[in-house]
Amino acid sequence: PKPSDKPTKAPTVQILPTAKPTLVPTATDTVTVPVALTMTSDTAASSTDEAKMKAVIASTINLDTSAIRNLAMTSTSSRRRRRLLSSYTWAVAFDVMVSLDALEDDSITSASGLSSSIDSSLSSNLVTNLAADGVSVSGLTVTTTVTSDDDGDSDAATIKVV
């Protein structure tokens, strides 16, 4: 190719925006609330029930399943004398670990506030939500514990729903 008589334009530098940084939870805004549930069912708990339980709990308390940690579920049998039918007591224990800043509910500003919200949501809606997902239980008891809360003491709440 022949050289041109016209000058060439200087190259332009294009500055592209960088990805928006995400906040990493810190020890000051991440809280853990241990939760224990007991309930009664006509069947023993299965691995399918455990998977459904985790998903329904997360949905009921309006969190992602990743916030439900260390889920453990057991069932024990007890026979009823008169009818010789078995009933099972399910025990479910897990931790809810979240950053308070990441919660959709801005009114929750402490571990005790989160604990109260979990108690209220689970005791009001969990049995119904499990039934909608094909898991039949009754006699729900919800227990949450907040250790080293923002007020420096340990708080525990137990709510029984029949």
Q: What is the largest CA-CA distance in the chain?
A: 107
pLDDT 10s digits, 57-110: 999 999 999 999 999 999 998 765 555 667 899 999 999 999 888 888 888 888
Secondary structure (3-state) at 101: helix
Q: Phi, psi at residue 76, to the nearest 5°?
A: -125, 145
Q: Give the percent of the chain with pLDDT over 90.
A: 49
Q: How confident is the model at residue 10 (pLDDT cuts 50, 70, 90)?
A: low
pLDDT of residue 26: 54
Task: Give the pTM.
Answer: 0.73
Angle (nearest 5°) at CA 130 between 124 and 134: 155
Q: What is the mean pLDDT of the segment spanning 150-162?
A: 46
Q: What is the mean pLDDT of the segment spanning 128-139?
A: 92
Q: What is the mean pLDDT of the segment spanning 113-140?
A: 93
